[in-house]
Amino acid sequence: MKYDFDKIIDRKNTHAIKWDKHLLEEFFGTSDVLPLWVADMDFQCPQPLIEAMKQKAEEGIYGYSWHKTPEYFNAVTGWMKRRHDWEVDKDWIVYSPGIVPAINVMIRSFTHPGDKIIVQSPVYYPFFSTIKNNGRRIQNNQLIYENNKYSFDFDDFEEKAKDSSTKMFILCSPHNPVGRVWTKEELKKLGDICIENDVLIISDEIHHDLLLPGYEHTVFSKLSEDYNDHTIICTAPSKTFNVAGLQTSNIIIQNKKLRDTFTQGISGRNGLGIPNAFGISALISAYDEGEEWLEQVMEYIHENFKFLKAYLKKHLPDVHMATPEGTYLAWVDFSSLGMNDEERREFMLHKAKVALDGGTMFGKGGEEFERINVACPRRILEECMNRIRDALRE
């Protein structure tokens, strides 16, 4: 079927984090804003998924549910084979209600207080809090930004990996917020350094299906057989199909010792092993019947990126966007405005009246940027940019 992504859906008063007036007041100090911040889409889910939710709702009983069925495992393994050419054994799959809870469990399971963990800022901000809140130390291998594109600092990465206190590396692939889809060669260099220095690799690949034309995602553990015993792959249908609220993720671990330790942590010590009843049905229907929708939504998102690039060139020529390769998150450099973080936040919220994710929250290197969620009807994206343009003219 043909999907209409231009359709504007009123998400106010639906408990949606992105649009909830009470949460906007709490986070931004005002609800009188157009929100393009938190990373979910303003598009309806695939129709087969919606029908599966209706069928589940009509059952009328929403008790404890179990996911370890052929239907569930076949949906996950089939998707990984078709979309990523990755042969996954069902025994490698461990359920988690989310990737962030899973990373918290991994940190507690595989490192000790005081250990160092490498991250690569500017990066998804919960990486920082999971490390700090668990009493570990951040090793920041900051990305290099040149000509509207980011790359790894391999020399600095190797130096930090060689530190005997460094036990783990959390990779964001594709990268949120900078939009890079890392190449095989780039990932292989990181992997070899980690293996050589016995650093456990946690690869957050939640955006792995959200690729722009010409780019290909590489599952980290596929790069080398040597990586399988040192890598944990974090996946979920949540970003792909806009079902983050259904709390369903799959952590894929080939090494049985690592898998058993993580399973004990997620289920045994933290009691997070029982899935959401609706999440099970959503995952199966999305992975089995959602590819048509995904192809169409990524075409639309690609056009939104093209629109934004053209808009900036025409109306805000001194504002630049990092070249997008994946995700639906635009990473936009507003340094030309000559504002510090607080001044830019004040401008966006109270002059332009838009709610974006300020770059500072993503760590060092993000200070001059704003993250803009382009997974919305084009009229909303255009309205956001018109507000910024008009406020600057004033």
76 beta partners = none
Scanning the chain, the segments in alpha helix (DSSP H) are: 21-28, 47-59, 70-84, 99-110, 126-133, 154-162, 184-196, 238-241, 256-263, 277-289, 291-315, 341-346, 378-393
394 residues of the chain, pLDDT tens digit each = 999 999 999 999 999 999 999 999 999 999 999 999 999 999 999 999 999 999 999 999 999 999 999 999 999 999 999 999 999 999 999 999 999 999 999 999 999 999 999 999 999 999 999 999 999 999 999 999 999 999 999 999 999 999 999 999 999 999 999 999 999 999 999 999 999 999 999 999 999 999 999 999 999 999 998 998 999 999 999 999 999 999 999 999 999 999 999 999 999 888 899 999 999 999 999 999 999 999 999 999 999 999 999 999 999 999 999 999 999 999 999 999 999 999 999 999 999 999 999 999 999 999 999 999 999 999 999 999 999 999 999 8
Structurally, the chain folds into a number of domains equal to 2
CA gap 246, 98 in Å, rounded: 9
Tokens of 80: 């990984």
The model's pTM is 0.97
Question: Same domain for 193 and 301?
Answer: no
Last residue of a domain, one of 256, 289, 322: 289
Tell me phi and psi for residue 389, to 5 degrees.
Answer: -60, -50
Last residue of a domain, one of 289, 304, 338: 289
- What pLDDT sits at residue 309? 98
Residue 16, domain member (yes or no): no
CA of residue 390 relative to chain centroid, distance:
31
Question: Hunting for tokens 């709490």 — which residue is that?
Answer: 26
35 beta partners = 355
Residue 55, domain member (yes or no): no
- What pLDDT sits at residue 269? 86
Question: Same domain for 211 and 278?
Answer: yes
Domain containing residue 318: CATH number: 3.90.1150.10
β-strands 200-204, 231-235: how paired? parallel
Tell me which residue range forms the domain holding 298.
Answer: 21-46+291-393
Residue 353, domain member (yes or no): yes
Last residue of a domain, one of 289, 307, 330: 289
Residue 6, domain member (yes or no): no
Residue 2, domain member (yes or no): no
- What pLDDT sits at residue 112? 98
CB 165 within 8 A of CB 144: no
No. of helices (H) and no. of strands (E), the chain:
13, 15
CA gap 310, 339 in Å, rounded: 23
Residue 52, domain member (yes or no): no
Domain containing residue 113: CATH number: 3.40.640.10
Question: Same domain for 189 and 236?
Answer: yes
